[in-house]
């Protein structure tokens, strides 16, 4: 409770203080009500009989009024609680969204995103099925209020009747709450043990609902996914439900024990009263006080707090484990990054193996990309071309060797600043469900408003202007059909928009342009246009283009062939054809498929 309370004060001090104040007030009022009921009942016979020493009618009226006011205050408590609770919920919602996503988004590298344990911790931090931080927090004020009412009411029992019985009742209640927390612990263990299953269930759900609606229908996978979702979900939650069932049985047992303790206390009180050992006022105060002690048992809140705490602990762990496993070296302050690269980007003896993989994708690779050069990279599927791009963008650190930018190790650069220097179309480029304009300006979001010329230039170069101008709301059209007035684009149109985004980034100051399969979805005309303009587009920047289409790469200043984890050939198109090595073989193989009838291939020397 105190851990979550501290968190509440950190994220929303005013709401937390109000919530705390309300919890204290409500328990004080509740204890006061019990006390006043006892005083009123105890005073009635004396007032009626007008006994000497008894309360006067006036004093009795004051007592009654106080009881009435306390009752009124207690009645407005739930509404106040709701108001403060809603306000607190808003803060909590916001803080949790940040707490769960920021640690994952902030690192400039991405290896942590593929770490199953980190995925699990994030999933637990998000919480579901009652294991959320927010639900725990909502119960903090109720548990706090119950605890204070318990202590206050027990003090009344002690004062009016018997301290040993009061202490006994408190101990029984606390033992019961402790036991409830223990049964909850088993649930949490089962919940944690099955996080991966829950993720798999979620994956099936997302696939069916949003990620792949077309393929799901074409392959008739709807029912399969639904069954899989239900099966995975049930499998993941079965142990939790079992633990929960055991918890409920235990709760019933505990309830009976608790009731017996209270009944015993009341019987004892009755016996003392009948024996004339206790005056009426004390009996009339102690009976509701004993009942209030009983009602202060709040096993539910204990359980929800314990569950919420488990999610909170995961949230706290998330940034720590990411920082511990994937440390980001402190940047080298000497590097003047806004000018890089002025000389060259160099891969020096670079090897790379994906975390958890059993073989190197790149091994002892050496490659120099001179500043201002348009370099092309070719190689078969799985050769490691995109991996090389990821290393260049700093998404992963090389397993060994180093990448230098003008001689400075990339690992020591301010990665955020370096990544701003790099503009890219990656193979799985993003399709933002946002207006068309945003899909371009997000290439350099800090210049979204202030570079209209760069925007026009990028749009013109990417050849996407006409397409967007024909949309219902032109550049304001949302590119997602699930929004009102939204539309979808074709694969090639999306690709041209992604090219415009990368070019906008270049015009906004990026100096390295990476085009990973920029023509994969383009039609013949659009591809020809790209090829024609390729050297223009890349003039003034250092560029790396990857494509399986040789027409796209042949004009590059230099072409490198990646095979077996290293660069095996390097030269211009003509030089490589003359070498008659891998490049020439691949080129001829592709060219042959386009030659018809009596057309001849260019002769290749050697």
Ligand X SMILES: Nc1ncnc2c1ncn2[C@@H]1O[C@H](COP(=O)(O)OP(=O)(O)OP(=O)(O)O)[C@@H](O)[C@H]1O
CA distance 93 to 460: 43
CA distance 515 to 510: 13
CB of 254 to ligand X, least distance (A): 50
What is the CB neighbour count within 10 angstroms for residue 440? 28
CA distance 215 to 185: 42
3-state secondary structure of 341: coil
CB of 484 to ligand X, least distance (A): 37
CB of 217 to ligand X, least distance (A): 27
Exposed, middle or buried, 34 (CB in 10 Å: 0-12/13-18/19+)? buried
Binding site for ligand X (CB under 6 A): 114, 354, 357, 361, 379, 381-387
CA distance 174 to 306: 15
By beta-carbon proximity to ligand X, the closer residue of 124 and 385 is: 385
Describe the strand order of the beta sheet including 362-370 as a list of residue ranges: 362-370, 344-352, 400-405, 408-409
By beta-carbon proximity to ligand X, the closer residue of 43 and 388 is: 388
CB of 520 to ligand X, least distance (A): 9
By beta-carbon proximity to ligand X, the closer residue of 413 and 546 is: 546
CB of 491 to ligand X, least distance (A): 16
CB of 563 to ligand X, least distance (A): 10
Residue 483: alpha-carbon gap to chain centroid: 24
By beta-carbon proximity to ligand X, the closer residue of 50 and 381 is: 381
Q: Return the C-alpha torsion angle 207, 487, 528, 574, nearest 10.
A: -30
CB of 118 to ligand X, least distance (A): 14
CB of 439 to ligand X, least distance (A): 23
Residue 65: alpha-carbon gap to chain centroid: 53
By beta-carbon proximity to ligand X, the closer residue of 198 and 387 is: 387
By beta-carbon proximity to ligand X, the closer residue of 288 and 379 is: 379
CA nearest 188: which of 54, 315, 314? 314
Which residues face 515 on adjacent strands? 425, 545
Exposed, middle or buried, 323 (CB in 10 Å: 0-12/13-18/19+)? middle
CB of 382 to ligand X, least distance (A): 4
- Cα distances from 116 to residues 51, 111, 122, 385, in angstroms, run 79, 11, 10, 25
By beta-carbon proximity to ligand X, the closer residue of 20 and 111 is: 111
Exposed, middle or buried, 151 (CB in 10 Å: 0-12/13-18/19+)? middle
Write b or e for each residue in 242-271: b if 16 or more Cβ atoms lie within 10 A of its Cβ, otherwise e: ebbeebeebbeebeeebeebbeebbeebee
By beta-carbon proximity to ligand X, the closer residue of 427 and 580 is: 427
By beta-carbon proximity to ligand X, the closer residue of 144 and 361 is: 361
By beta-carbon proximity to ligand X, the closer residue of 91 and 109 is: 109
CB of 427 to ligand X, least distance (A): 6
Indicate the pairing of strand 374-378 with strand 558-563: parallel
Residue 86: alpha-carbon gap to chain centroid: 22
Beta strand extents in 381-527 (DSSP E only): 400-405, 408-409, 422-425, 512-516
CA nearest 90: which of 9, 21, 12? 12
CB of 352 to ligand X, least distance (A): 9
DSSP state of 127: -
CB of 107 to ligand X, least distance (A): 15
CB of 354 to ligand X, least distance (A): 3
By beta-carbon proximity to ligand X, the closer residue of 267 and 357 is: 357
CA nearest 394: which of 301, 470, 487, 331? 331
Which residues, 6 or more positions from 348, have their beta carbon under 8 angstroms from its beta carbon? 366, 401, 402, 403, 404
Q: Where are the alpha helices (DSSP H) in 106-132?
A: 116-126
Structure tokens at 548: 């399986």
| Contact assessment for residue 566 and residue 388, using Cβ atoms and an 8 Å cutoff | no
By beta-carbon proximity to ligand X, the closer residue of 158 and 565 is: 565
User: How many Cα atoms within 13 Å fall on the side-chain side of residue 310?
Assistant: 26
CB of 495 to ligand X, least distance (A): 15
């Amino acid at each position: 409770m105190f851990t979550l309370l501290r968190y509440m004060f950190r994220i929303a001090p005013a709401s937390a203080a109000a919530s705390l104040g309300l919890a204290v007030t409500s328990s004080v009022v509740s204890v006061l009500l019990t006390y006043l009921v006892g005083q009123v009942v105890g005073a009635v016979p004396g007032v009626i009989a007008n006994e000497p020493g008894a309360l006067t009618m006036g004093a009795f009226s004051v007592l009654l009024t106080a009881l009435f006011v306390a009752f009124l205050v207690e009645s407005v408590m739930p509404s106040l609680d709701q108001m403060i609770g809603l306000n607190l919920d808003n803060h909590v919602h916001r803080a949790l969204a940040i707490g769960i996503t920021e640690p994952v988004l902030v690192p400039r590298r991405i290896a942590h995103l593929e770490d199953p344990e980190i995925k699990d911790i994030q999933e637990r931090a998000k919480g579901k099925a009652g294991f959320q931080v927010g639900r725990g927090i909502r119960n903090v004020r109720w548990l706090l209020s119950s605890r204070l009412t318990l202590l206050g009411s027990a003090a009344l029992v002690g004062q009016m009747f018997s301290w040993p019985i009061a202490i006994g009742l408190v101990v029984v209640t606390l033992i019961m709450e402790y036991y409830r927390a223990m049964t909850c612990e088993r649930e949490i263990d089962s919940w944690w043990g099955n996080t991966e299953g829950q993720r798999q269930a979620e994956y099936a759900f997302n696939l069916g609902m949003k990620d792949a609606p077309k393929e799901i229908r074409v392959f008739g996978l709807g029912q399969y996914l639904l069954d899989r979702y239900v099966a995975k979900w049930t499998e993941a939650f079965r142990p939790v439900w079992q633990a929960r069932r055991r918890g409920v049985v235990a709760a019933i047992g505990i309830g009976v024990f608790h009731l017996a303790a209270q009944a015993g206390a009341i019987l004892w009180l009755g016996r003392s009263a009948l024996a004339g050992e206790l005056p009426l006022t004390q009996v009339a105060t102690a009976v509701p006080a004993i009942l209030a002690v009983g009602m202060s048992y709040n096993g539910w809140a204990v359980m929800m707090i314990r569950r919420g705490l488990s999610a909170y602990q995961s949230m706290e762990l998330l940034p720590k484990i990411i920082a511990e496993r994937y440390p980001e070296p402190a940047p080298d302050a000497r590097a003047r990054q806004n000018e890089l690269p002025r000389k060259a980007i160099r891969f020096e003896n670079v090897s790379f193996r994906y975390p958890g993989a059993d073989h190197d994708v790149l091994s002892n690779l050496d490659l120099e990309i001179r500043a201002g050069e348009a370099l092309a990279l070719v190689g078969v599927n799985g050769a490691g071309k995109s991996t090389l791009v990821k290393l260049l963008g700093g998404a992963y650190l090389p397993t060994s060797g180093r990448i230098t930018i003008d001689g400075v190790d990339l690992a020591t650069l301010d990665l955020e600043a370096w990544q701003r220097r790099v503009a890219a179309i990656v193979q799985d480029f993003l399709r933002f469900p946002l207006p068309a304009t945003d899909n371009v300006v997000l290439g350099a979001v800090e210049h979204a408003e202030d570079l209209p010329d760069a925007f026009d230039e990028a749009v013109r170069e990417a050849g996407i202007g006409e397409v967007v101008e024909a949309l219902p709301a032109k550049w304001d059209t949302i590119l997602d059909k699930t929004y009102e007035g939204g539309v979808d684009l074709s694969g090639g149109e999306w690709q041209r928009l992604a090219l415009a985004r990368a070019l906008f980034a270049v015009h906004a100051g990026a100096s390295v342009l990476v085009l990973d399969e920029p023509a994969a979805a383009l039609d013949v005309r659009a591809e020809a246009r790209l090829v024609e303009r390729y050297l223009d587009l890349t003039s003034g920047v250092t560029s790396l283009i990857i494509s399986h289409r040789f027409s796209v790469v042949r004009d590059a200043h230099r072409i490198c062939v990646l095979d077996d984890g290293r660069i095996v050939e390097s030269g211009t198109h003509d030089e490589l054809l003359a070498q008659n090595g891998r490049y020439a073989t691949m080129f001829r193989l592709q060219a042959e498929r386009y030659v018809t009838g009596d057309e001849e291939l260019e002769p290749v020397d050697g």
